[in-house]
Amino acid sequence: MSIGTATIEYEFICPLPNGLHARPANCLEQVVVGFVSDISVVNLNNNKKANVKSVLSLIGADIKKGDKCLVVVQGNDAKPAYDALVDFIEHKLPDCDAALPEMVYETNKVILPPVLEDAGIDVIPGNPVVSGIGRGKAVFFEKLKLPESLNIAGFVDVNDELSEVERAISELSSDITDNLSSGRATVVEREILNTHLSIANDVELLNKVRYLINNEGISAGEAMLSAVEHFSKILKMAESGLIRERVLDLRDVCYQVLKNIYHGKIDDSVKLDSHSICIAGNLTPCQFMSLDKEKLKGMVLTHAGNTSHTVILARSFGIPTLTGVDGVCLNIENGKEVIVDADLGIIVTEINEKVERYYALENRKQKAIAQKCTIFKKKPATTKDGSSIKVMANVATADEVEIAIANGAQGIGLFRTEMLFMDRQEAPSEDEQFEEYRKAAANANGSRVVIRTFDIGGDKSVGYLNLPKEGNPFLGYRAVRLYNEYEKLFKDQLRAILRASAYGNLELMIPMISCIEEVLWVKEKVKQVKEALDSESISYNTDIKLGIMIEVPAAAFIIPHLSKEVDFFSIGTNDLAQYFFAADRCNEKVKSLYNSNHPALLSLIKKIVDDADVNGIRVGMCGEMAGKVENLPILLGLGLKEISLASPSIAGIKAECAGLDRASCKELVIKILNCASSDQVEVVIAEQCRMNSHAVVEVGLIDLQVDCIDRAEVIKYISDILYINGRTNSPLEMEKEFWKRESVYSTGLGYGFAIPHCKNGLVNCHSICVFRLDKPIKWDSSDKKPVGMIIAMAIKDGETAGDSHMQIFSRLAKKIMCREFRNKLRILLSEHEVVRFLYDQLALKDIQ
Ligand code: PEP
Ligand code: MG
């Protein structure tokens, strides 16, 4: 430390495990912001200098743990500023950085399947929230271009431009502050808002904008864009992913400032001109809806949560999506072709030949699954024992209804209307809503459409309603609880729905009911609206059905009473689980408690279904739990006759249904309800899955024209075929199981044959696959000959040497040693012939 008259210096070593990223930089800035002295810090490791009063400048210095830094304080209040700063650095700085959020993945933790591993590429990991694979050019959702129509090039007055930019920034700051103090933001949102606030108030950003306006004679908007470009370049060079990620925040802030400068003249939409992968910090539901879904092939959202409404929408459009992605993705060039693989949880930025081959295999697998499901798309979902379950779709717009019906939906079980109220300056008018609901009814072609009245509040805020600040928004003023105060809004919506009911099969549903009084109040309002329509001679469906969501546990215990008042129930497991387990559905930290496989929740759902049945009232489920194929046996066993889910999953659910029978699902549920924990439930389910027995050999397991060029591809292909044929639910894990043997000793038998095999709990039923390769490949066989024939065996755990199936495998092992058997297999012409030959040779008839 050295103290002069006007300059004081202080050296410290950065103690922060994640370096000086936005959050600690913000704390540091807060300590010095009130002093007039100039305060800078030099990172002695890279000689980057920063203004401590600017978060952007501080994070641009790329200070990492262990970097030696020199603080220089110069000015009239240098001493008190120095004291405050040193006190903060020594006592508080080490504690002002919490651990990284769990959702951020470490690059080296991704285990790639061997075919991709062989491709020798770097990938960027992310948190998969909507599964699937998409490929297209990277498009940053930055929207930072000023429309030419603004004609801003030759502006007139420097002072006007300066005051415009200052006004726009201060408007944004106060909007963010209001948002923060409303108490509606979730923990993650608060963090983002705080970062945005400190960027909006950043002195260096404003200095740069002022400098550009004063010295380069450019407009406020151009100066803002140019300043953001300047800081983005600095941040992009940082080593820390956390710092690079701030570029998206910077762009977000800039965009909002531009909107404030040019009021409504900045176009919100991004035009996609070819297959694209959209990369953004987050998107509002309206921004997402504005994207052309034909061209949108994938999304990378660095900040979005799993249950955010944009993610729910992405799910319903089947757009593969990753969240929690490291800021490194910002180094992807705009326009570069990338793959979002939300099955593996990676972004692939380097597409070489091996990568092409891997995704060609994946494509083949997806197509085969889709083809299998297509057969079921248009059929009702029926179990093997003839019981059926109605499969409906969840939507948020009328346009989605058409897609849902095309995807096989037997109606719309949940139309979330609150999306129509969000991201705008005022509520939609009755006529605007009427048009939307009428269109939904028309798009459904006579099928039922359940319109849920607005569920605003909780995590869905609507600025223009000026809802009060709350400590616990999810437990507070939300959905039906708002309707009394906003009666006009509610009645306008009821009028719109009732008017639209004259044009199709619409039903009304009320969210968040917790007591009978709420239902009676709603019924009274419906009656009043009907009377008003009658007096105006406006037609509507006088018998329109009224239902309620069962998503508050209290409602679940008064089903017999509620049954007397309403026509149907829909179980909203997203909220039911959060209120039942006292675990916030948006909070990553309590994610493990929020578990739909918990026997307590399942027993609550059983009670709801049973009580509704006894009272003769229709009951369905529309929470996310209904959309997972693995939950279907439980839902059938619980007695549900109707479910509603994101429409891309519908065909898969129907296909799954065809392989189940309700009677054994009911037995499964009896076992499950006796479990003590969700872990135990999972064991029971896994056991049940494996009891479904199939023949050891079938046509789907034989392929006589296989285009694989190495062992890794063949093993992937075997695992995919087992998956396509329902013999395993985890193709990736199966690959690893085959490799466990293969990496210890080669299964190349000689004579051009290989017999890869594995035995484990992932195999649903014993299977033999036979493949003939187009070109023989190296397999490290004992006779060094290339392999052209593959006989793969997958054996399920729990079999012993005396078991009938083990006898098949030992017969097969003996046969393979026989030249005649091998030669015959090599020349058989069709898959059917191979199946018949194996039946005969292995005496399968005796066993199956
Ligand atoms: C639910 O809570 O399960 C539900 C479907 O409603 P939302 O997710 O819109 O709260
Ligand atoms: Mg809900």
- Give the pLDDT confidence score for residue 798 in this predicted structure: 67
Ligand 2 centroid to 572 CA: how many Å?
5
pLDDT in tens, 188-226: 567 677 878 888 989 999 999 999 988 888 888 888 888
Average pLDDT (29-58) is: 91
Give the chain's largest Cα–Cα span.
100
Return the structure tokens found at 644: 């509603």
- Give the pLDDT confidence score for residue 606 in this predicted structure: 98
Report d(CA 827, CA 842) in Å as an integer: 18
> Which atom of ligand 1 is found nearest the CA of 622?
5
> Is it the case that residue 383 has pLDDT exceeding 70?
yes
pLDDT band at 104 (very low <50, low <70, confident <90, very high): very low
Return the structure tokens found at 252: 């977000």
> Is it the case that residue 181 has pLDDT exceeding 70?
yes
pLDDT in tens, 387-399: 999 999 999 989 8
Atom 1, ligand 1: which residue's CA is nearest?
572
Lowest mean pLDDT among 182-196, 351-365, 640-654, 703-717: 182-196
Question: By C-alpha distance, which of 476, 486, 554 is closest to 525?
Answer: 486
| Cα 148 to the center of its chain, rounded Å | 36
Q: Which bound ligand lies closest to the C-alpha atom of 574?
A: 1
623 lines ligand 1 (CB under 6 A): yes
Average pLDDT (451-465) is: 86
Instruction: Give the mutation target among 456, 510, 549 for probing the ligand 1 site: most ligand atoms within 8 A of CB.
Output: 549
Question: By C-alpha distance, which of 414, 422, 409 is closest to 396?
Answer: 414
306 lines ligand 1 (CB under 6 A): no
- In this structure, the dihedral spanned by the alpha carbons of residues 582, 583, 586 and 588, taken in order and rounded to 10 degrees, is 160
> Is it the case that residue 5 has pLDDT exceeding 60?
no
551 lines ligand 1 (CB under 6 A): yes
Percent of the chain with pLDDT over 70: 89
pLDDT in tens, 60-97: 888 888 999 999 999 989 999 999 999 999 988 888 76
Instruction: Give the mutation target among 417, 451, 551 for probing the ligand 1 site: most ligand atoms within 8 A of CB.
Output: 551
Atom 8, ligand 1: which residue's CA is nearest?
574
CA distances in angstroms from 113 to 118, 270, 727, listed in the order given: 9, 35, 19
Percent of the chain with pLDDT over 90: 53
Average pLDDT (822-846) is: 87
Ligand 2 centroid to 671 CA: how many Å?
29
Ligand 1 centroid to 573 CA: how many Å?
7
pLDDT in tens, 512-545: 999 999 999 999 999 999 999 999 999 999 999 9
- Give the pLDDT confidence score for residue 848 in this predicted structure: 46
pLDDT band at 835 (very low <50, low <70, confident <90, very high): very high
- Give the pLDDT confidence score for residue 107 in this predicted structure: 41
- Give the pLDDT confidence score for residue 284 in this predicted structure: 67
pLDDT band at 111 (very low <50, low <70, confident <90, very high): confident
Ligand 2 centroid to 291 CA: how many Å?
26
627 lines ligand 1 (CB under 6 A): no
> Which atom of ligand 1 is found nearest the CA of 624?
3
- Give the pLDDT confidence score for residue 691 in this predicted structure: 56
* All residues at 6 or more sequence positions from 768 whose CB lies less than 8 Å from its CB, including other chains: 696, 697, 701, 791, 792, 793, 808, 812, 838
Q: Which bound ligand lies closest to the C-alpha atom of 459?
A: 1
Task: Tell me if 540 sits within 8 A of 499, measured CB to CB.
Answer: yes
> Which atom of ligand 1 is found nearest the CA of 574?
3
pLDDT band at 812 (very low <50, low <70, confident <90, very high): confident
Q: List active site positions.
A: 21, 309, 622, 757
572 lines ligand 1 (CB under 6 A): yes
pLDDT in tens, 570-613: 999 999 999 999 988 877 678 788 888 999 999 999 999 999 99
Average pLDDT (337-365) is: 95
574 lines ligand 1 (CB under 6 A): yes
Report d(CA 765, CA 794) in Å as an integer: 8
Atom 7, ligand 1: which residue's CA is nearest?
574
Average pLDDT (781-792) is: 92
Lowest mean pLDDT among 38-42, 106-110, 829-833: 106-110
459 lines ligand 1 (CB under 6 A): no
- Give the pLDDT confidence score for residue 548 in this predicted structure: 98
573 lines ligand 1 (CB under 6 A): yes
Buried b (16+ CB within 10 A) or exposed e, 340-355: bbbbbbbbbbebeebb
Instruction: Give the mutation target among 451, 573, 575 for probing the ligand 1 site: most ligand atoms within 8 A of CB.
Output: 575
Ligand 2 centroid to 40 CA: how many Å?
50
Lowest mean pLDDT among 219-228, 326-335, 618-627: 326-335
Question: Could you tell me where the DSSP H helices lie in 71-139?
Answer: 78-87, 114-118
Q: Which long-range contacts (CB under 8 A, 24 or more apart) does 331-335 make?
A: 331/236, 331/244, 332/138, 332/279, 333/138, 334/138, 334/139, 334/140, 335/137, 335/138, 335/139
pLDDT band at 563 (very low <50, low <70, confident <90, very high): very high
3-state class (DSSP) for residue 304? coil
- Give the pLDDT confidence score for residue 684 in this predicted structure: 86
Return the structure tokens found at 107: 């690059």
Report d(CA 197, CA 177) in Å as an integer: 8
What does the mean pLDDT of the chain come to?
87
Ligand 1 centroid to 479 CA: how many Å?
11
CA distances in angstroms from 785 to 531, 746, 749, 782, 815, listed in the order given: 86, 13, 10, 8, 20
- Give the pLDDT confidence score for residue 635 in this predicted structure: 97
Q: Which bound ligand lies closest to the C-alpha atom of 452?
A: 1
Average pLDDT (151-172) is: 80
Ligand 1 centroid to 520 CA: how many Å?
22
Atom 9, ligand 1: which residue's CA is nearest?
416
Q: Which bound ligand lies closest to the C-alpha atom of 415?
A: 1
> Which atom of ligand 1 is found nearest the CA of 418?
9
Ligand 2 centroid to 458 CA: how many Å?
9
